[in-house]
Structure formats: structure tokens, C-alpha cells
Amino acid sequence: MNRIFITFILALFAYTTLYAQQDSIIKLETVTLSDVRLKNAADKTIIVKISDSILQNQNGSLTDLLRQHSTLYFKEYGLGMLSSVSFRGTNSSQTAVIWNGININSQTTGQTDFNNVGLGGFNDISVKSGGGSALYGSGAIGGSVHLQHKIDFKKQQTFNLSSTIGSYENYIQSGAFTIANEKSYFNGYVRHQAAENDYPFLETDLKNDNGEIENFSIGYNTAHKLGKRDVLKAYFSYFTNKRNSSRTISVPTKSRLDDKNRRFMLAWNRKATKTNYNIRLANLEEEFKYYENKRKKHLFSGSEVSTIIANADVDYKFSHKLKVKGAIDANLVEAEGDNIDKNIRRSIAGILSVNHKPFKGFAYNLTARKEATNTYKIPFIGSFDLNYKPLKWYKVGVNGSKNFRIPTFNDLYWEGLGNPNLLPETSYQASFNQFFTYKKSSLQLAAFYIDTKDMIKWTPDESGEWHPQNFVNVKNQGIEATLQTELRYKKHRVHISGTYVYVKAIDQETDKQLIYVPLHKFNGNISYHFKKVTAFYENVFTDAVFTDGNNSTSLLSYSVSNAGISCNIALGENTFTLSGKVNNIFNKKYEVVISRPMPNRNFLISIHYKYN
Amino acid sequence: MNAKKIIIGLFIAALTFTSCSDDEGVVFQPTTPTTETPLGAYENGVLIVNQGGWTQGNASVSFVSNDFSVSENGVFNNVNDTPLGDVGQSIAFYNDLAYIVVNNSQKIEVVNRYTFASVSTINTGLNNPRYMAFANGKGYVTNWGDSNDANDDFIAIIDLASNTMTSTIAVGEGPEQILTLNNTLYITHKGGYGQNNIVSVINTTDSSVSTITVGDTPDEMVLDSSNNIWVLCEGRPSYAAPETAGKLVKINTTDNTVATTIDFQTTTDHPKVLAYESGYLYYYIDEAIYKMDETDSTLPTNSFISQALTEGDLAIHSGKLYGTRADYNTGDSEIVIYDLTTTNLIQSVDLNTGAYHIYFN
């Protein structure tokens, strides 16, 4: 353990990096994931996995969860409001969010609002650093976030009911059940949250007026084995999110944003001796309505987008050393809105991927993708990834890729302002990764470099009209570190985890750091388990960020801590968990986005009932 | 005028890039001693209202003294130790008071125009306030209302003793700039988020409203030496098809009719900002300032001064031409000052984000 720690420190100071992998995604044969591309043999740049146990006790948003447990930085416009991500210093449309293998970034904005993702439907979240466009398509430049439901053909019957009450009239109720045997699996869930969210703005006379949020999610995840080789799966999720738009320090507001997202996917998997087939058909619907004055219900603007996705993957195993994947992705997107004329985008992509393990401990992957659309040209892209594990506790890897991000419907077609001649953004990147594992401890470090060209930016022309153009070139470089360790003494168990990221994201034209990209971000989590009691303390430190292009103004850095305790009471097959949590325990005043204060100290109390 | 573009731009730019600057830095240099008793630190100079970035909360006022020896950014904030608010729109002056209209904060800050010490805040009843003028001892403020509602636009009437809104006058979509002549109000209807093509005329004794149809997107107005009002119509922009060319329209204020209309050449010609001095009109288009004799019936072909005033304003005072420009990508802003006779640049001063209207104090 000592030696590993010293190596870590040396490595850090020498500006080299290590890389580690925590859990093998494919460790459980009985578990099936729909995201078949994620378990690609050599492709293991998984930085963070968030397990079901953390997810089950989650009473915040996906933003809260990932901010606390991954290297991701979120630009959250006040609690529960719009939340856009920056991964390795890239912008919000350069992180792909993958739902059970399907890219769900909004077609109108190109990004995922992490406060507009329904919770309850997934039991596994993986955060993968680095370019993944070859497999996941547009937007996987900084990395990708995989939201999944693992299906486990194990005889089980579980019920979960949970209720949370929090400060500022925050009420969360959720329920889920799973019934399964060796042949069939069914999971259903429902979750509702309503919050007044009117926390005071510290050191002012103001409070978070017009900050009410209400969201509802419902869905199911089901699978059935058809004979020995075939599995049929269906996933459904429906999410509505009604949010008033919080006031700022200087702007009273009365607007409201309503979102609806519906996703359905049917997947078929056939496993033969040497061949593995996966076919997926999905339909995604996204809709939003913006009311400038929430009381004038007849006056709104909005858009509706419908996406149909068809994927087919074929894996062929030449030997245990060599596997080849061929895949086809077809997409049909139809968007229409008050500011966008009806437009249809069709695209089809072919993917070829090779995994080779020429000798023990050494593996590499080569992937290539060619995509064609009816709207613009997408370059040929590809990636390579190689890993070498010379020692039981040490692994080293290097990967490189070319990635892309397509212009959004807003970029292309916004009434009178959009630019139909936009090109996709392209980026080259490389990452050098090392990782150490020792018993229950792991340490991963990565050094990365991203060069993005033709970035799309909305900018005013000489007459003051804003249009999108491909003209920004940004270079990002930095390091990422993830540490996990567990200490045990008799019945006492202490779990420690943390991530650290350093990133410089420099606009090559102005030579300035991009706005809202902190140089340093750190999070640490420590939990103590003794018998039926768990206590935890967590902290996120975010460095100062610039809020304007000429880097003359910035927001202060902030360090925010939460703490909580929970206790299990088991009565036969029934388990009750009582838990309490204090957010922002030191009552720090901070803003994530300028002029939008975040909550002061606040409390949550939950009761969770589980039957199994 | 620019708030709309900022809103649209920032809205769809979807949070990846915005800009602002909140440089409260004060640059004080020794002033030349004056013999008169100064009315305050901000007398004998130029005031500039800086819009700041949309929702950045960094609207501000800058001061540059007439001899350029003193300049100060963030005047309101410095004097009153509180931020001005969000999107500084305009300033109107009445006696010793300045009324700073802060659009997105839905308020008007009332200060002493020379000391900038806060007197009052008008923050009830306004809805997207734009510009203010005075007539019959009352204040009149143009309001877009909700910008997506064409039927709720109004003029707020302000009681200047209590600094409260006492009543409203309903008007057409998008009332913008407002000018008083003999207790009659002239209001251009730029159109708010959309485009309009009228000037409202309000009789302040009975609050009756009549309208004059002018060119598309009328914004700035000036009063000439014969009490005619010239209205600069920008024309419909490219994003609001059908695009139309700008027009310069002269209103005869004795009978409130259009006396002269001078068309710009092509539909892509969208002139901005208008100033008047000593028989000449000055306007801005395509990175240049043009000068036109008020008696001419055609537009000048050659530019007067070649200077980009992107998102800015133009004003003339004491033989000098003042122009502002703002870059909302970087947050950079400046005021440029030209000698009106030689057309040489004599000074430029860096300002806070979103430099806009210029006023002489």
C-alpha cells in the first residue's frame, strides 16, 4: 500500500499519469447490459462507476450525483435549473449521454440537461473519459456518461419504497419493484419530486423566487429469454419536468420551462458459439415549452423532436485472442418548433472494430466509423486503444481518437439566424493512462490532450445579429486522478474515494481559458460503516472560473461539504433504512453560475423500505 | 435596442459561451482645478450606460470627463455600494436627477445626476422598461410588457414626487424610444422581439394616442432645428423575413404626418443609431458613420468617418463625435471620440461590458 501511495505521489509530481480500472464491466455473466459497446474488451477507460447502492439512496439530481462522484464539472443555473456539463474542459454538447446504449443528447441543443433526466430507471452509471465517437457517434469528445439498467436473470422479488422530505418543501417519493427468474426479468419504477426550492440567498434579502420544480418519471425495464441463445429486452421511460426559472441576484423572473421526454427501446440479443448479434430499435421523443410569463399559458414557444434509431451489431470471435465487431447505426430525426421549420435528418453509419490480445496482458482495439447524412459531410473517424498489464497490480495504456460533434437543429435551422452551411466539429485526442490496483484499492491517472477544430460558436456579426459559425479552435490538456480505497478493522469499514481533475482549455484565437472551465476540481467521499449504521462526509472543491471571454471577471472558487447518516433496521425480509443528510453543512455562500446563488445549509430526511 | 439580440443570441448559444465584464476598477487621475463649485464628481463629462451581459447582473454606468483626464467604470456601484442590476438600457434626466432604466431588472434607479447618490428605486409595475421621458411634470416610461405578448405593451406614468407608477397607457407592440415636444410624446415602436412600423403620438393632457406609420423597425429619433422629428427605421432584419431596407423618415410635428421618406438602397441596408447637430444628421451603417445635410433629399454616398460601432451608439457634443462599441464575445467595450472638424480620432477609453448609450452631463 505504501509503495503504491509513493508511486502515486511521484507520478503526480513528475506529471506522468496512472490509470486504473475499477470494476470489470463483464464480471457477472448473468448480468446483461444493453450497452454492448461499453464492454468492448480493450476499451476500459472507465473512470467512474456508480453502483446501485449509491443510486438507491440518491435523493438529489443526476447533477448532484455526478458532481460528487466523478470528474465532471456542471454549470448549474441554480438548484434544479438547467445543468450543462463540462468534461475534460470541453463544452456541454461535447459529452455524449448514452441511455442503455443509445445517444440521448437533445437534437435541438446538442446537450443533455443533467437536471432533466428522470431518475429511478437505471441501476448502473458509468462515466467514460475520452473520445468515443467511433462507437457512440456525435458528441463523445470529452467523454460519455452511460445510464443503464442491468438485467439480472436471478430469481428475485424485491420491492422498494422511499420517501424523502427536505428543506424548502422538497418532497420525493419513489417506488420500484423487480420480479425475475432464470428466464424472465421485469423491473418497474415510478418517482415524483416536487420542491418549493425557495432557499434564501445568503447575505442578501432575496430568496430563490420562482424556483419551483416538479418532475415525474415512470418506466420499466424487462427481458425475456427465448430459448437458450436469444434474449428479448424492452426499455421504456417517460419523464416530465416542470420548472420555473429561478430569479437571479438582479433579475426577477416569472418564466417557466416544461420538458417531456419519452424513450422506448426494443433489443434482441442472440449468442451463438462464435457470434453475438444485437439489434436495437428505439424511439426517442423530446418536447419543450418555454413560457416567458407562466401565468399566460397560451403564450409559449417550443419544439418537438422525434428520433428513430436502428442499430445492429455483430461480434465474431475468431479465437479467444481476436474478436471483430461490425455494426450499422441508422438514425432518422425529425424536428419542428416555433423557431425551427420542420426538418428531417437521416444518417447511417458503419462501424468496424477489432479487439486483439496477441499475448497475455496485452490488448488493443482499433475502431473505425464512417457516417453519411443528408445534411453535411462527416469525416472518417477512428480510434485506437492499447493496454498492457505487466504486473498484477499495474496496467498502462494509451489511446487516441478522432471524434466529431454534429451541428444541432438550432445551429442549422434557427429561423433566420441558423447557418445551414455548418460543418461538424472535429477533434483529435490522446490519453496516456496508468492504473494501480491493490486489494480493495485502486488508483487511476490519465494525462489527456484534446485539439478541437471548427467548434461551433454563436457570435454577433458587425450588425449585431448572432449566427453560429465554425471558427473556434480549442486545445485542452490536463490530468485526471481517481482513487478508491477501503479499510477494514473487525466490523468497522471505511470507504474512501476521490477524484481530481486539472484542465487547461485554451481558445487558440484569444489564448484565454474558456469560460466556466475550472482549472482544478476535486471531490472526496468518505464513508464509515459499522454494523447497520453508515455515516458519510463528502466534499467538492471547484476552482474559480472565468465568466467572460477576455478573462477579466471570474467567480470565486468554492468548497462545499455534505454529511449524512443512515441506519438499517431489518425485520425478516423487510428492511427499513432511516437516513438524514445535511447539504452545504458549513453554510457556504457560492455561485456556480454568475448571479445565481446556490442553496445554503439544508436538510433531507428519508425513509426507505425494501422487501426481498 | 440590443437587448433583443443579446437575448436571442445568448439563449440559443445555449450557455456555452457568454460574456461579461464587471470591472469595477476606478481610474482616478488628478483633475485640473476648476473655479466653479462642482455639483458633483460626474459633472462636465460623458455618462455611458453599459448593458452588461444578459443575466450576468453587471449593468453599469461609466463616466469620462470632458477633458478625458478622469474616467471611471461602475459609477453607480462605486457610489452606492450595490450593483446596478441587469441590462442597463438608458438614462433620462430631469432637473438634478438621472433615471437609469435597468431593463431586465424591471426597475429604474433614480440618482442625483452629478453625485450619483441613490435617491429612489422604481420597481413596481414596470415590465421590460426601455426608455423614459418627461412631460407635464410626470415621467413616461416605454414598456414592452411580456415580450411574447403583442397586446400588453404600455407607457408607464410615473409620479415624480413619490417615484411610483400611477397609471398606464396602452400602446402598440414594442414601444422603444420616447421624445417630448411641447408636452406631446413621440414613441417609436421598434417592435420588441418582433418588428413594428409605427410612431405613437400621445397627448399628455388627455392620454389620447394616435399613430403614424413609418418604415420598418423604427428606433432612434432626433429633433431638428425646425422641430421636425427624424426617425431612423432600421428595416426588417435578415432573420425576420421579409427583410426590408432601412428608411429615414421626417415627421412634421405641426400636423403629425410624414413629410419626407428617404429609402436606403438595398434590403440588406440596416442603418443604426442617429444623431443631429447644427443642420446635419449622422447615422451608422456597415462599419462607417455618414453625415447628411438635413435639407438633402438623398443619402450621402461617401462615409464621414470609418469606424465600427458594433452594438453601440453615436452622439455629438461640443465639436466632438462620440461612439461606443461592444464585443459580447470577449466582454471588451470602448468609447471612441473623434474631432468633428478634422475627423481624427482623439481619444478612446475602455469601458465595462456592453457600452451603449452616451449622455452629456
Tens digit of each residue's pLDDT (9 = 90 or more) over A200-251: 999 999 999 999 999 999 999 999 999 889 999 999 999 999 999 999 999 9
Checking ipTM against 0.90, whether it exceeds it is no
Closest CB from A82, A249, A459 relative to B57 = A249
Q: How far is A112 from chain B (nearest CA, A)?
A: 11
Distance CA(A496)–CA(A527), nearest Å, equals 7
pLDDT digits (tens, 9 = 90+) for B169-224: 999 999 999 999 999 999 999 999 899 999 999 999 999 999 999 999 999 999 99
Give the residue from chain B lying closest to A89, CA to CA.
Answer: B16
- φ/ψ region of A109 (left if φ > 0, alpha if ψ in -120 to 50, else beta) reads alpha
Other residues' Cβ atoms within 10 Å of the Cβ of residue B20: 28
Q: What is the pLDDT of residues A60-116, one digit of tens each?
A: 889 999 999 899 999 999 999 999 999 999 998 999 999 999 999 999 889 999 999
Residues of B in contact with A292 (CB under 8 A): 146-149
Chain B residues with beta carbon closer than 8 angstroms to that of A250: 57, 59, 83, 85-86, 102, 104-105
A291-300, B6-15, B287-296: the lowest-pLDDT one? B6-15
Sequence-separated (6 or more) residues with CB below 8 Å from residue A357: A41, A42, A320, A321, A322, A363
Contacts of B106 in chain A (CB under 8 A): 251-252
Which grid cell is A401? 481518437
More confident residue, A464 or A49: A49
Give pLDDT, residue B36: 62
| pLDDT given for residue A8 in this prediction | 36
SS3 at position A219:
strand
Q: Give the amino acid at B11.
A: F
Predicted local distance difference test score (pLDDT) of residue A56: 66
Q: What is the pLDDT of residues B87-130, one digit of tens each?
A: 999 999 999 999 999 999 999 999 999 999 999 999 999 999 99
Percent of chain A with pLDDT over 70: 91
Q: State whether B238 and A251 contact (CB < 8 Å).
A: no
Q: Is the pLDDT of residue B11 over 60?
A: no
In this predicted structure, the answer to whether residue B5 has a pLDDT above a threshold of 70 is no
pLDDT at A592 over 50: yes
Domains in chain A: ranges and CATH: 2-143+153-611 (2.40.170.20)
Residues of chain B contacting residue A93, judged by C-beta atoms under 8 Å apart: 14, 16
Whose cell is 482549455? That residue is: A505
Chain center to CA of A12: 26
Q: What is the mean pLDDT of residues A569-578?
A: 93
| pLDDT tops 50 at residue A3 | no
Model confidence at B15: pLDDT above 70: no
Task: Flag whether pLDDT at A43 surpasses 80.
Answer: no
The pTM assigned to this predicted structure is: 0.88
> Which of the residue ranges A357-366, B23-32, B282-291 would you say has the lowest mean pLDDT?
B23-32
For A359, other C-beta atoms within 10 Å of its C-beta total 8
Nearest to B148 among A299, A416, A547 (CB): A299
User: Which cell numbers hold the place of A215?
Assistant: 418532475
Residue A576's CB is within 10 A of a number of other CB atoms, namely 13
State whether residue A410 is helix, strand or coil: helix
Query: Is the model's pLDDT at A566 over the cut of 50?
Result: yes
Per the structure block, which three cell numbers stand in for B119? 435617491
pLDDT on residue B25: 40
- Lowest-confidence segment of A118-132, B113-127, B138-152, B156-170 by average pLDDT: A118-132
Residues B322 and B316: their CA atoms lie apart, in Å, by: 6
Q: For B20-69, how does the pLDDT look when each residue is reduced to its tens digit (9 = 90+)?
A: 333 334 444 444 444 567 788 999 999 999 999 888 999 999 999 999 99
Interface contact flag, B239 A417, Cβ < 8 Å: yes
Which of A:443-472 have CB within 8 Å of B?
457-460, 462-466
Q: Which residues of A touch B288 (CB under 8 A)?
A: none
CB-CB under 8 Å, A91 with B239: no
Q: Which residues does chain B have within 8 Å of residue A245's beta carbon, measured at their own beta carbons?
A: none
Nearest Cα neighbor of A145 from A122, A121, A129 is A129
Kindly determine whether residue B329 and residue A549, on different chains, have CB atoms separated by under 8 Å.
yes
